[in-house]
Amino acid sequence: MSLEDVENIKKRIENFKKTLMELTEAPDSQETAEHKVREMSAEVVDSNPYSRLMALQRMGIVKNYEDIRKYTVVVVGVGGVGSVTAEMLTRCGIGKLVLFDYDKVELANMNRLFYQPSQAGLSKVTAASMTLTKINPDVKIETYNTNITLSTQFEEFLNVLKTGGINGDRVDLLLSCVDNYEARMTINTACNELGLKWFESGVSENAVCGHIQYIVPGESACFACAPPLVVASDIDEKTLKKDGVCAASLPTTMGVVAGLLVQNSLKKLLGFGTVSWYLGYNALSDFFPSMMIKPNPNCSDNFCLKQQLEFKNRVKEEPECTNVDLPEDIVTHENNEWGISLAEDEPTASSNTTELAEPLKTENVNNSARSDEEYLSLNDGIEFAYPSADQTAPNEESLVKETELNVDDLRKQLSLL
């Protein structure tokens, strides 16, 4: 037996092990059916997995939480961010979840959330499907072990976005959780072509920064409108990777970014709160920058330029809001048991102004005198060193007396002083 035959046997054994593991880990169909919940209930019992989610409806946060079962969300990239994103959506009871990834689970991924060491060697979509089905069998999960950047796989990817919805229609939202520029541009092209709204997300190589971006084709900047600095500088990102050197990875940062991603996805789907156009995260300073990026009129994506034009036309066709003076509502009551009536305001004619002038002057003088008294009043135990001018007793010598002397006589008296 040659060495090549030995290697082939080893590969076959590994494939048998993976198949056996998938069959062992796969949930029994009968057991799964028993745990499925046909309708979401707000009943507060230990056996109801949706009671705390339905409480959002009772508290007025959402109008009808059960609408979440109508939506289909596509998650591209089931790695550190994508796997946690898929788990959160599954626990929230999303109607259908479509997963795209071509990579396999490795022991090097164990520093992240979601995957387990026993799943090493399995494709990420297979491992994710088995785990998510156990968490919530009500969610329909569809997987594609596909590299969407390949030209031979792009048409399949585009067709899934067109017809992958619950009722065979277009999907409702796409979440990009990939880690390279090429995959992001592939998603960007597909969503621009279909006019599909999507979220882009990412974590920096130093593992302490991340972001999410809500992209509406034509209304906000697509990924090609404002490319990363490395790409804008005409640098091939593949040349940045070196053998034996890997990017840092923190489950905390990835968990935060995944939480922000799913939170804004729920707000968009269920219609509550405000969806962030762009939300960053800096773990070193707990800084969350937020902004809105307008589309680039010179974008390199032709589908983006087409969507921009269609958006401008839609805005022009929308009716303008005009202010209409509505009649004032007059409050009337059928019964007026106590005979209460409202008196009309007194007229402010010019004739009344003259009549009120004198009383107002008198009142102002009194108020001024009263304020002076309050100002001069002191607390107990404190007194002025000298009496005020108003309280000083008049001196008899300082008083002016009447006299029969003329001016010349008065001058003579002054000269003698």
The catalytic residue positions are 246
Residue 291 main-chain phi, psi, to 5 deg: -160, 170
Please name the residues in contact with 187: beta carbons below 8 A apart, sequence gap of 6 or more.
76, 148, 174, 176, 178, 198, 200, 223
Beta carbons of 142 and 97 less than 8 angstroms apart: yes
Beta carbons of 40 and 51 less than 8 angstroms apart: no
Beta carbons of 87 and 129 less than 8 angstroms apart: no
C-alpha–C-alpha distance, residues 374 and 371, integer Å: 5
Compute the Cα dihedral for 134, 137, 139, 143 and give only its sign. positive
Beta carbons of 220 and 294 less than 8 angstroms apart: yes
Q: State the amino acid at position 356 in one-letter form.
A: L
366: number of Cβ within 10 Å: 10
C-alpha–C-alpha distance, residues 112 and 297, integer Å: 39
